[in-house]
């Protein structure tokens, strides 16, 4: 079993002065989004960047993986909220350095230690984490709501 998904991007002009856009190719689930170099390296001003889209993909993927792992362990979550923060830094070249996941979840009946163990395992096993692993530092901070 396999699936494919597509997105389409366009760019006009130089790297620093140009502008572009990205739109879904498969789902049509989001509108065309504008992109600029300034949005990547300075302030976003309502314009997105590949790093913001990567953060969205990682947060979404992790929320699914964590919910699935909790359910498999016998603790279906009531709610899982995830934020991903991508660090993009100029080294020799601009590089994605890390993705830090912050998760808060309401999971009836689970102990804190088991919750933390499952949170850490999901960080390593969600498909986006596996795509990034070895190139990008991955971290998770998990909070269990009462």
| Tens of pLDDT, residues 106-139 | 999 999 999 999 999 999 999 999 999 999 999 9
Q: What's the whole-number mean pLDDT along residues 2-24?
A: 96
pLDDT at 10 over 90: yes
Task: Report the alpha-carbon distance of residue 70 to residue 100 in Å, rounded.
Answer: 20
**Ordered alpha helix ranges (H), the chain:** 37-41, 50-72, 112-125, 127-132
pLDDT at 55 over 90: yes
Task: Report the alpha-carbon distance of residue 25 to residue 5 in Å, rounded.
Answer: 7
Q: What's the whole-number mean pLDDT along residues 95-115?
A: 97
Please give the share of the chain, as a percent, with pLDDT higher than 90: 99
Q: What's the whole-number mean pLDDT along residues 33-38?
A: 96
Q: Is the separation of the CB atoms in 139 and 77 below 8 Å?
A: no
pLDDT, mean over the chain = 96
**DSSP collapsed to 3 states, 96-131:** EEEEEEEEEEECCCCCHHHHHHHHHHHHHHCHHHHH
Determine the pLDDT at residue 146.
80
């Amino acid at each position: 079993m396999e699936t494919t998904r597509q997105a389409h991007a366009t760019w006009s002009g130089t790297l620093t002065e140009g502008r572009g856009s990205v739109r879904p190719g498969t789902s049509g689930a989001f509108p065309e989004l504008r992109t600029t170099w300034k949005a990547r390296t300075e302030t976003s001003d309502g314009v997105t960047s590949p790093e913001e889209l990567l953060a969205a993909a990682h947060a979404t993927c992790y929320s699914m993986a964590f919910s699935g792992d909790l359910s498999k362990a016998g603790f279906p979550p009531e709610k899982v909220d995830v934020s991903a923060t991508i660090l993009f830094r100029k080294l020799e070249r601009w590089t994605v350095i890390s993705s830090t996941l912050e998760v808060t979840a309401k999971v009836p009946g689970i102990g804190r230690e088991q919750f933390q163990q499952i949170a850490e395992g999901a960080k390593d096993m969600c498909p986006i984490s596996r795509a990034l692993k070895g190139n990008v530092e991955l971290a998770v901070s998990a909070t269990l709501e009462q």
